[in-house]
């Protein structure tokens, strides 16, 4: 995120079995959890952090760009490797400032090659915890979803863009 000069907005995390039975309340900011006494105090901390530090980017649940919806858990093609094979990521967060500054935080997906029968890429998301960020304008293709085959393999439909 530092490459683009970004920082996440602080946000409140509520822990408990239901919204009426809350066990703990946290404020998350820059990978640090703060534990305020009350929910109102948590909101106050978020508000103060955002204004004092002049944080401009909001973490949004979804966004529509050129009639295309982007949201967490969708798969995006980030780039191509030196062999021309796609490099995929799964969307974790979307940061919005204005229509020219929309960024996606994603987790890399390991691609094992293409399954010609399904015309889909075989991927593995279980072992990789490496995250990165990209401007939405730099994406290669439209977002898609992960399909799970009867054999347990996970696939991404062929996203060729010739």
Mind listing the pLDDT tens digit of every residue in the chain (162 residues)?
Answer: 556 666 667 788 888 888 788 888 888 877 778 888 788 888 888 777 766 666 667 778 899 988 889 999 999 999 888 888 888 999 988 888 777 788 898 888 888 888 888 888 998 876 667 788 888 988 877 888 888 888 888 999 865 544
0.85 exceeded by pTM: no
What's the rounded Cα separation, in Å, for the pair 77 and 143? Answer: 8
**How does 60-74 read in b/e, with b if 16+ C-beta sit within 10 Å?**
eeebeeeeeebeeeb
C-alpha to C-alpha distance for 9 and 29, rounded to whole angstroms: 7
Q: Which fold has domain 59-157?
A: SH3 type barrels. (2.30.30)
Distances in whole angstroms, Cα of residue 9 to Cα of each of 63, 70, 95, 147? 17, 19, 9, 32
Domain with CATH 2.30.30 in the chain: 59-157
Cβ–Cβ under 8 Å, residues 83 and 64: no
């Amino acid at each position: 995120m530092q490459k683009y000069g970004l920082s996440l907005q602080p946000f409140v995390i509520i822990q408990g079995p239901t919204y009426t039975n809350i066990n703990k309340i946290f404020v998350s900011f820059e990978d640090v959890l703060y534990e305020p006494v009350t929910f109102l105090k948590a909101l106050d901390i978020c508000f103060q952090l955002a204004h004092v530090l002049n944080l401009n980017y909001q973490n949004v649940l979804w966004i529509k760009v050129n009639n295309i919806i982007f949201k967490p858990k969708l798969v995006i093609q980030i780039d191509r490797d030196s062999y021309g094979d796609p490099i995929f990521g799964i969307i974790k967060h979307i940061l919005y400032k204005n229509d020219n500054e929309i960024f996606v935080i994603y987790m890399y997906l390991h691609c094992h090659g293409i399954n010609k029968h399904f015309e889909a890429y075989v991927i593995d998301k279980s072992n990789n915890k490496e995250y990165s960020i990209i401007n939405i304008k730099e994406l290669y293709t439209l977002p898609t979803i992960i399909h799970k085959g009867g054999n347990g393999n996970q696939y991404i439909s062929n996203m060729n863009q010739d």
